[in-house]
Amino acid sequence: MFNKYKLLIKNFNLTYEEYKKIENEKKCYENPQSALISALTLLQKNRGWIDDNTISSVAKIFDVSISDVECLATFYSQIFRKAVGKHIIRYCDSIVCFITGYKDIENEIIRQLNIRPGQTTFDNRFTLLPVCCLGNCNKAPTIMIDDNVYNNLNFKDIKKLLEDYD
């Protein structure tokens, strides 16, 4: 049985564990294609981002077109189609965060890391991404580093905050 999976996995460019997790996720839905986002998220967690080969593999597993998977992957801002840093910094650039001073925070992050929004530091430590909302308008300005949310920030907080991430 394992040899059957080994050949299958080779064709899909996935590990056995990745393939099994995706197959298990598909069972959770009446329509297995509903698990596409879950599959992309799972693979990204293991690989850091979703490359073209991964898009192709997911399309094969779900028996959908590559363009269908590509459309889904590029629609969701949490799916990365290019390599990103070890830590993802998302900062809210909504009107509420704008009013409460996100520009000072954005400028300090840019100064500290020497990168622009959408870029990754030379050492691959951080990627900086603007997002339209982090859902913390009552605690603005807000940034998120990986899964950690930081509220009511000012630019003086940034240096110490970045030092906490290796």
Q: What is the reported pLDDT for 12?
A: 67
Quote the tokens at residue 158.
């940034």
Q: Are residues 95 and 67 in the same domain?
A: no
First to last CA, the chain: 42
Indicate the residue among 75, 95, 111 that finishes a domain. Answer: 75
The whole domain housing 142 covers 87-163
Quote the tokens at residue 1.
């049985």
Assess contact for 158 and 111: CB atoms under 8 A.
no
Q: Are residues 52 and 100 in the same domain?
A: no
Residue 6 pLDDT grade (very low, low, confident, very high; cuts 50, 70, 90): low
Mean pLDDT score, 20-30: 94
| C-alpha distances out from residue 139 to 98, 134, 149, 152, 164, Å | 12, 10, 10, 5, 21
pTM (predicted TM-score)? 0.76
Indicate the residue among 29, 55, 75 that finishes a domain. Answer: 75
In a domain, 31, yes or no: yes
- At residue 137, does pLDDT exceed 60? yes
DSSP SS3 for 157: helix
Quote the tokens at residue 66.
């590559």
Residue 153 CB contacts under 8 Å (≥ 6 apart), including other chains: 105, 141, 142, 143, 161
Segment 62-80, tens digit of pLDDT: 999 999 999 999 988 789 9
Share the mean pLDDT of the chain: 89
